Amino acid sequence: MHRQPENFSNKVFDCQGHTLDGIKAESSAIAAKHKVNITIRNCVLAEWHRGIYLRYSNHSTFENNVFTEDTQDGIYIGYSSYNNTVVNNTLTYSYSQGIQLMASGATPTDNNISNNFVCYNSMDIEDDDSNLGFNNTCNTTYNFNDTTNGNPCTNSCSSLSPIQLTNLIVGWNLISLPLRQ
């Protein structure tokens, strides 16, 4: 089951730092199918099957969100979804992918994945096509390279200082919103 708001094209959903906790739900916190120009920002999405599930949707932005402990993916973009922007998000401890750009029949293309912290997931970023990336922090990828240097990610999760890592683990993310403890 996916929650899909009606008439949600050309809208902004700003959680203002509030947490939507799925408590290991078998659904997505936010699902969008056949939507255009939606923005999801400043949300903490924890313990969902997928934090955001996007299909056949274009020109949308996901910014300054925190995704943690999702049973599948933090962000899933698939099925002909193109020109979407995923920027300044923290995606950690998903049992599958932090970010998945999945092709199933029609490939998602020209999505911009930039300035995200995607660490400690089974697979940090999986890309089935040629999506763009810049200045991401991650370790494990499939078919994804930051355009910054041709490496899977510009920064490695292991490049964090002990103080930065401790701050993440004890409940603060890279956008300074408290996580639930």
Q: Report which of 144, 80, 75 is spatially closest to residue 109, judged by C-alpha positions.
A: 80
Model's pTM, two decimal places? 0.82
pLDDT for 67-124, tens place per residue?
999 888 999 998 888 899 999 999 999 989 999 988 655 556 788 999 999 999 999 9
E-strand spans in 26-179?
28-33, 38-41, 44-46, 50-55, 61-63, 66-68, 73-78, 85-87, 90-92, 97-102, 112-114, 117-119, 123-127, 132-134, 137-138, 141-142
Tokens of 132: 């763009």
Neighbouring CB atoms inside 10 A of 58's CB total 19
pLDDT for 6-48, tens place per residue?
566 778 889 999 998 888 778 888 888 899 999 999 999 998 8
